[in-house]
Amino acid sequence: MTTTSDFIYSDAANGEGMHLVDGGRMIMRGIKRLIGVALVMAAVGLWAAPGASWESDVMLFKLGLSVSAALAGLCMMKASAKPKRARF
């Protein structure tokens, strides 16, 4: 069982109930959301760090790292959204 969504097989999600007793799906969504928020905060904190060097090569590295961390964090937060209820 994976934590990613599979949009190719739409009937696969209909066989499983939305309200699981063990809460595994909810825990994985919470972990994804926590990691996403941490990545976005790290991207912002990278620029707010005191004593940063303003050299061009370091700034380019910081820009690339912060953009990729912010995009990954936003994707993780979007992936942690509650799945839509299947209509029968």
| DSSP state string for 38-81 | HHHHHHHHHHH-TT----HHHHHHHHHHHHHHHHHHHHHHHHTS
Check whether 34 has a pLDDT greater than 50: yes
Give the distance from CA 23 to its chain's centroid.
Answer: 19
The residue ranges of every structural domain in the chain are 20-79
Greater model confidence, 7 or 11 = 7
Check whether 1 has a pLDDT greater than 60: no
Q: Which helix (H) or strand (E) holds 26?
A: helix 24-48
